[in-house]
Chains A and B, each alone.
Chain A
């Protein structure tokens, strides 16, 4: 476990504010390779901001972010991606006019140096996308688009995968499929990685994640195994206080 932590993601005392509004305050978080972490909190608690800071989409004001023994604080997002952090977006951001194969290929090409076609074929096969291979990404059914976005991210062979509300907009069956797929990815010999997942569906998060990190108003209020977090008084307070979904 200690070794896995060293090769994983570490955010140390990360702070970020937007013109006076404190979006993140001294948040620390460790995601070892091979584990699934959930990131939850009420709306506006800073979840997506944390993902943006880790993936280099936004610079952070204070604190450090490490991937394994590399300090990635302040690097451009494409550098961070090539070093091994991939992500998806809350609103799907596929290359809509490119085909499914090209979407995956763009990710594969950015990091690989040979055998591109075979890797793309394998990846499409692995995620059940082969039948859509030559379809324009924008023309895919919504659920398939979500899956493609994850496949594209995994094409870059990440050590850490950040998923921003991967189940948003999916129906029950699709959510179940996604859940099974994410579990499979964690244990996959080839694409196995650490994952940090934001989702609003707490039932899903509780079942999916090994560990959960809870943010409220930019601060960490709890961290631990799902059953512990569920009973944590600060978490219940934060959720009920905001009149969000009840905790089961």
Chain B
């Protein structure tokens, strides 16, 4: 820790406090309001934030788009599912599962850390090759990673139950657990941003060549960012799995990748606070439109079912934001921190 900048650490600490306080207020408010639907929305929102913030750690600091992170999210979710589903359910759903996995039944924390660990290992395996590539080649290779992992999720029947997916995960998540999760993950993301490696990764984002000529090892900083981000993404997936309780491989593919990346773009790639803001904006728009998607009546007009309306609206929102604010709503700024 000796070559950390205390100054930047202090700024990050302030941002963490402000963000935590805001989220705490939101969570507390919803809890006091005591509306089941609002609590559900808030819980989902916190879990979504863990996802976007984890992605921001790599994409925001390195400036390299990753289409592959949703795969880590999936790895975390499957790991948590295998760790928490009761053995009697597993015996029915996954009869071929190895005995060690079959008899495991762990709690929330172990499952979440387990998700992070397995995602970390997958990130390590892929990152050793990916981090050596040039920026654009790496972005392309992450897309390949997503498709490959999807093929594995969909076809490794013994462990994932193929396209049908897994069910029977015990609910480990409530509003407060989700809130704790996002506060911890935001803390870790800000800590990484303030670290020497974080700064070096940001420098490499701005000017890879100049970064090298002041002594920054590009491969090393990119690999570390990839690993941290992958592990966080795994923990986010594990938390999500313990809230959704049943899922399949198609929940870790292109639509999800687009959704998560778009939240990051809307908020501002270079900012952790931006990730939270982006998730909030998209959640807000989605919730407002979700009711409309199923069809509604407007005075004498009866509007039929509108499939894909939410996605459409989010995409239009992105276009508008990109044209008027190419750096997203917050750009590089963090809340609570003069830089």
* A–B contact via C-beta, under 8 angstroms: yes
Query: Which of under 10, 10 to 19, 20 to 34, or 35 or more describes the interface residues of B?
Result: 20 to 34
- Determine if A95 and B4 form an interchain contact, defined as CB atoms under 8 angstroms apart: no
Please report the C-alpha to C-alpha distance between residue A116 and residue B196 in the assembled complex, in whole angstroms: 10
A117 touches which of B5, B200, B332 (Cβ 8 Å): B5
Closest residue of chain A to B214 (Cβ to Cβ) is A107
Interface residues on A, range: 35 or more
A-B contact count (CB 8 A): 101
- Closest-by-CB residue of A relative to B2 is A114
Contact assessment for B215 and A156 in the assembled complex, using a CB-CB cutoff below 8 Å: yes
* Least CB distance, B11 to chain A, in whole angstroms: 10
Q: Does A77 lie within 8 Å of B199, measured CB to CB?
A: no
For B216, what are the chain A residues with a Cβ–Cβ distance below 8 Å?
Answer: 78, 81, 106, 110
Main secondary structure on B side of the interface with A: helix
Note all chain A residues with C-beta closer than 8 A to B339: 99, 134
Docked CA distance A55–B332 (Å): 31
Are B3 and A97 within 8 A (Cβ)? no
A111 to B215, CA, bound (A): 7
> How far is A89 from B209 in the complex, measured between Cα atoms in Å?
10
A73 to chain B, nearest CB (A): 17
Q: Which residues of A contact B5 (CB under 8 A)?
A: 105, 109, 116-117, 120
A201 at the interface (CB under 8 A from B): no
The smallest C-beta distance from A83 to any residue of chain B, in angstroms, reads 9
Given the complex, which residues of B lie within 8 Å of A110, measured CB to CB? 200, 214-216
A-B contact pairs, 20 of them (CB 8 A): A57-B209, A76-B212, A86-B213, A89-B210, A93-B207, A94-B206, A94-B207, A95-B211, A96-B207, A97-B202, A97-B270, A97-B332, A98-B202, A98-B203, A102-B8, A109-B5, A110-B214, A153-B214, A156-B214, A156-B215
Q: Write the residues of chain A forming the contact surface with B, with a CB cutoff of 8 angstroms.
A: 55-57, 76-78, 81-82, 86-87, 89, 93-99, 101-103, 105-107, 109-114, 116-117, 120, 134, 136, 152-153, 155-156
